[in-house]
């Protein structure tokens, strides 16, 4: 019964031709937007279209893409995880302390440690939300300030500087043994895994089912609470991974590391076409959303827009993206009638 | 068997004969009383811990620290009761205050600048209101966008500059005291506005409509209530109050930087939800929100006297926020406890999770010890 759900969903989409093309158009839309932006910026600043700059953009969006994918899974179940930034801050600080004290520690072990610590924090979120029945926005708002407070308590206000971290750890994110920086490869790997998980596993399809109609999902035998718990656990796990990469990339761990990052991850998801009311979202869309945010940030610098106006431009862009998305959807409803 | 049936049917008649609203005990079960008890408990503990806690001057000074949060909280109660949210208030505060700072730096009269800032903040609220009410976008998405947009405009206005040198007549808004008493001007303003907002919420048709929208928006719409206009009004109001809070905060600091008030939106939402307002809309009182602001203020003040860092205080406030919803829910979940008894698997799961948290805490303390010891 549940195993058939994915095919059932897909055929119903494929049957309605207009709907299907418009959904594809939504990703084509953001691709087109990126394409136009790239051409426009290249005309103003030719240095934009160089391999170095492109690599720079990819480096900048890798962490965002990883956490935005986790955020996407949470949003698909009609939830939200505001605590990702504090989880990155706390795990990053703990890993940095351990690495400073034990410089000989294998790099792979630090990655695993970060993911394990993040999983514990994600489990805590998941338990409050599922067993405690606290609305996700309240629960993660609470843990946002709890985890951030723990960063201060943990470090007592000290921070870890670049010279205190071993070289092997710092090259974890930036080394290029396989041509591209490791961090970019890790992000691609995460995207591929999440893609297969969401589209080709039963649990992945259950996530969509829980988000698009929680009651119906429960009647078909899906354990709603377990799925909800799982997405917050994954969110913690990927935030833990992102934390290790963050400390390695910026070569420091501070008490305010990643503060405010949670809203960027939500923005990347929403710009990438993930519906805040649940049930809708694609990996490709979210990766493109993160890429768009990265390109905008990069190009605003290249065409010499004052850094002070960049945040405003980003905010305006998010608004334009969601308004145009709504416009497309309302057009779609009209063609349906 | 028969006796059992009788005992089962009796309670229902008992309940209908004595409606719970009339019982003395029921009144004490209300969340507002819980908050009062928590406030008294907090005062009791703090008085024992610090001799400076009940100092009138200290209390007067610390009370004005929470008035920006309080002013933004009033319209937020309206918005959350309708089942919506406004994440952009702190950014709107920053935008308005920075705009006033920009005008002031360019030699505009401070009162004209303040008026312009109020106007800009109100426009910001109107934009939110238009997008939520008319375009019908989810409020979380809209205000997340304007959260970045308005804060960005604040940076655009002032850049790396700060505005300072406000005349004394203006800084009175944030620093002054009423006449010769110890009551700060901002506190008096908050009390007056809280009463006005409370009366609007609990004693007018407009207030009843807010609850109606929060309970069932479609039904409210079909009853002929102008839902769109009401939503537009409350977001506009939220923008105006954010700008007002911006003026008060700028006056209190005596200067304005573009990052002014960053993160206050979460403090505001925490106060509202801790005050017993349902995040899904439809339930809550103004009194509860005001009491919870009072509780948070006293707790933070008490912890500050004990030299606990502001961010570490956040752990306590965050826990309080979660527990305030978690504990009543857990108490209701008797079925969970029954399953716990039957299902052996669940016991293992619970033990596993507990072990995990204990391991995390051990690691937490073990890993930080050498570095803190080494200085």
Residues B196, B84 within the same domain: yes
Q: pLDDT value at position B324?
A: 82
Q: What kind and span of H or E run contains A131?
A: none
Ranked by mean pLDDT, the top range of A4-13, B124-133, B164-173, B183-192 is: B124-133
Domain range holding A129? 27-38+47-336
In a domain? residue B24:
no
pLDDT of A99-142, one tens digit each? 998 888 999 999 999 999 999 999 999 999 998 889 998 899 89
- Give yes or no for residue B17 having a pLDDT over 70: no
Q: d(Cα A271, Cα A269) in Å, to the nearest integer?
A: 6
In a domain? residue A15:
no
In a domain? residue B7:
no
Q: pLDDT value at position B68?
A: 92
Q: d(Cα B151, Cα B160) in Å, to the nearest integer?
A: 14
- Tell me the C-alpha to C-alpha distance, in Å, between residue B204 and each of B118, B136, B210, B218: 26, 26, 10, 21
Which of A146, A267, A314 is facing B319, going by the closest CB pair?
A: A146
Residues B248, B356 within the same domain: no
* DSSP codes, B280-315: TSS---HHHHHHHHHHHHHHHHHHHHTT--HHHHHH
Question: What CATH number is attached to the domain comprising B105?
Answer: 1.10.3470
Task: Tokens 């002054």: give the residue.
Answer: B176
Of B56 and A165, the structure prediction assigns the larger pLDDT to A165
Q: What is the mean pLDDT of residues A292-317?
A: 83
Q: What is the mean pLDDT of residues B112-116?
A: 96
Residues B199, B312 within the same domain: yes
Q: Which pLDDT band holds residue B345 (cuts at 50, 70, 90)?
A: confident
Q: Which pLDDT band holds residue A7 (cuts at 50, 70, 90)?
A: very low
Residue B18 CB neighbours (<10 A): 10
Of A189 and B24, the structure prediction assigns the larger pLDDT to A189
Residues B353, B244 within the same domain: no
- Residue in B79, B145, B334 to test binding to A, most A beta-carbons within 10 Å: B145
**Which DSSP symbol is given to B163?**
E
Number of domains forming the structure of chain B: 2
Number of domains forming the structure of chain A: 1
Phi and psi at residue A253, to the nearest 5° = -130, 120
Domain range holding B352? 339-374
Question: What CATH number is attached to the domain comprising A34?
Answer: 1.10.3470
Question: Are residues B271 and B264 in contact, defined by beta-carbon separation less than 8 angstroms?
Answer: no
Residues B265, B315 within the same domain: yes
Contacts of B315 in chain A (CB under 8 A): 145-146, 149-150, 153
In a domain? residue B4:
no
In a domain? residue A188:
yes
In a domain? residue A16:
no
Residues B49, B168 within the same domain: yes
Which of A154, A267, A277 is facing B144, going by the closest CB pair?
A: A267
Residues B121, B234 within the same domain: yes
- Give yes or no for residue A47 having a pLDDT over 50: yes
Predicted TM-score (pTM) above 0.80: yes
Which of B148, B279, B353 is facing A138, going by the closest CB pair?
A: B279
Residues B240, B350 within the same domain: no
Q: pLDDT value at position A8?
A: 42
In a domain? residue A11:
no
Helix extents (H) in chain A = 5-15, 17-44, 51-76, 84-101, 107-130, 136-155, 167-174, 182-200, 202-212, 214-219, 224-250, 261-271, 283-302, 307-336
Compute the mean pLDDT over every residue in chain A, rounded to the nearest whole number. 86
Residue of A nearest to B159 (CA): A308
Residues B214, B357 within the same domain: no
In a domain? residue A4:
no
Residues B56, B81 within the same domain: yes
Residues B244, B355 within the same domain: no
Residue of A nearest to B263 (CA): A260
Instruction: Provide, rounded to the nearest whole percent, the portion of chain B with pLDDT above 90.
Output: 49
Residue B99 CB neighbours (<10 A): 27
In a domain? residue A254:
yes
- Residue in A101, A103, A145 to test binding to B, most B beta-carbons within 10 Å: A145
In a domain? residue B15:
no
Which residues have C-beta within 8 Å of that of residue A220, sequence separation ≥ 6?
A1, A2, A5, A209
Which of B131, B141, B153 is facing A270, going by the closest CB pair?
A: B141
Q: pLDDT value at position B7?
A: 44
In a domain? residue B18:
no
Task: Tokens 């009144």: give the residue.
Answer: B27
Q: Which pLDDT band holds residue B140 (cuts at 50, 70, 90)?
A: confident
What ipTM was estimated for this complex?
Answer: 0.80
- Tell me the C-alpha to C-alpha distance, in Å, between residue A33 and each of A38, A48, A72, A320, B358: 9, 16, 21, 12, 49
Which of A148, A157, A315 is facing B146, going by the closest CB pair?
A: A315
In a domain? residue B274:
yes
In a domain? residue B12:
no
Contacts of A318 in chain B (CB under 8 A): 144-145, 148-149
Q: d(Cα A256, Cα A149) in Å, to the nearest integer?
A: 10
Q: d(Cα B318, Cα B76) in Å, to the nearest integer?
A: 19
Residue B96 DSSP SS3? helix
Residues B262, B354 within the same domain: no
pLDDT of B70-107, one tens digit each? 999 999 999 999 999 999 999 999 999 999 999 999 99
In a domain? residue B122:
yes
- CB spacing of A149 vs B315 below 8 angstroms: yes
In a domain? residue A104:
yes
Q: pLDDT value at position B328?
A: 74
Q: d(Cα B347, Cα B331) in Å, to the nearest integer?
A: 19
Contacts of B148 in chain A (CB under 8 A): 263, 267, 311-312, 314-315, 318
Residue of B nearest to A160 (CA): B371
- CB spacing of A319 vs B357 below 8 angstroms: no
């Amino acid at each position: 019964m549940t195993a058939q759900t994915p095919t059932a969903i897909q055929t119903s989409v494929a049957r309605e031709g207009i709907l299907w093309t418009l959904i594809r158009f939504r990703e084509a839309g953001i691709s087109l937007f990126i394409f136009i932006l790239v051409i426009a910026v290249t005309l103003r600043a030719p240095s934009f279209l160089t391999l170095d700059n492109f690599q720079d953009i990819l480096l900048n969006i890798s962490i965002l893409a990883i956490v935005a994918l986790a955020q996407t899974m949470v949003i698909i179940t009609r939830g939200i995880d505001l605590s990702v930034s504090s989880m990155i801050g706390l795990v990053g600080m703990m890993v940095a302390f351990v690495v400073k004290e034990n410089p000989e520690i294998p790099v792979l072990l630090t990655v695993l440690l970060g993911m394990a610590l993040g999983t514990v924090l994600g489990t805590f979120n998941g338990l409050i939300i599922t067993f405690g029945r606290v609305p996700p926005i309240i629960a993660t708002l609470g843990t946002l300030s709890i985890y951030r407070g723990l960063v201060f308590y943990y470090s007592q206000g000290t921070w870890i500087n670049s010279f205190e971290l071993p070289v092997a750890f710092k090259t974890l994110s930036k080394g290029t043994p396989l041509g591209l920086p490791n961090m970019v490869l890790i992000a691609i790997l995460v995207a591929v895994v999440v893609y297969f998980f969401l589209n080709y596993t039963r649990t992945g399809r259950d996530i969509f089912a829980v988000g698009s109609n929680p009651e119906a999902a429960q009647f078909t035998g899906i354990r709603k609470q377990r799925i909800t718990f799982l997405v917050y656990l994954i969110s913690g796990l990927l935030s833990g991974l992102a934390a290790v990469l963050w400390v390695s990339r910026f070569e420091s761990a501070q008490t305010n590391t990643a503060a405010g990052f949670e809203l960027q991850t939500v923005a990347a998801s929403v710009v990438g076409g993930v519906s805040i009311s649940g049930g809708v979202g694609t990996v490709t869309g979210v990766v493109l959303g993160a890429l768009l945010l990265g390109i905008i940030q990069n190009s605003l610098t290249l065409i010499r827009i004052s850094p002070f106006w960049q945040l405003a431009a980003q905010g305006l862009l998010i608004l334009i993206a969601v308004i145009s998305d709504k416009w497309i959807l309302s057009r779609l409803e009209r063609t349906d009638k | 068997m028969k006796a059992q049936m009788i005992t089962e049917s009796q309670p229902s008649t008992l309940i209908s004969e004595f409606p719970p609203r009339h019982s003395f005990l029921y009144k004490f079960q209300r969340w507002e009383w819980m908050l009062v008890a928590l406030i008294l408990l907090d005062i009791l503990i703090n008085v024992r811990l610090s001799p400076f806690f009940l100092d009138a001057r200290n209390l007067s000074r610390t009370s004005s620290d929470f008035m920006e949060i309080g002013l933004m909280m009033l319209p937020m109660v309206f918005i959350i009761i309708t089942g919506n949210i406004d994440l952009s208030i702190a950014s709107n505060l920053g935008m308005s205050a920075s705009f006033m700072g920009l005008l002031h730096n360019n030699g505009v009269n401070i009162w004209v600048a303040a008026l312009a800032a109020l106007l800009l903040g109100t426009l910001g609220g109107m934009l939110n209101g238009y997008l939520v009410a008319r375009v019908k976008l989810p409020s979380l998405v809209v205000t997340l966008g304007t959260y970045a947009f308005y804060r960005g405009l604040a940076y655009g206005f002032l850049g790396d500059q700060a505005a300072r040198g406000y005349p004394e007549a203006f800084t009175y808004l944030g620093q002054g005291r009423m006449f010769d008493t110890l009551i700060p001007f901002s506190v008096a303003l908050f009390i007056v506005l809280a009463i006005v907002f409370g009366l609007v919420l609990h004693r007018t048709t407009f207030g009843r409509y807010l609850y109606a929208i929060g309970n069932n928006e479609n039904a409210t719409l079909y009853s002929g209530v102008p839902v769109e206009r009401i939503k537009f009004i409350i977001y506009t109001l939220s923008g105006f109050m954010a700008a007002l809070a911006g003026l008060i905060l700028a006056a209190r600091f005596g200067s304005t930087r573009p990052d002014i008030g960053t993160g206050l939106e979460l403090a505001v939402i925490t106060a509202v939800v801790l005050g017993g307002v349902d995040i899904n809309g439809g339930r809550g009182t103004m009194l509860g929100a005001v009491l919870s602001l009072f509780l948070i203020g006293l707790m933070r003040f008490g912890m500050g006297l004990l030299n606990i860092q502001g961010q570490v205080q956040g752990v306590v406030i965050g826990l309080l926020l979660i527990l305030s919803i978690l504990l009543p829910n857990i108490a209701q979940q008797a079925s969970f406890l029954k399953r716990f008894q039957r299902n052996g698997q669940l016991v293992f799961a619970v033990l596993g999770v507990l072990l995990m948290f204990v391991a995390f805490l051990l690691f937490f303390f073990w890993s930080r010890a050498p570095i803190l010891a080494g200085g």
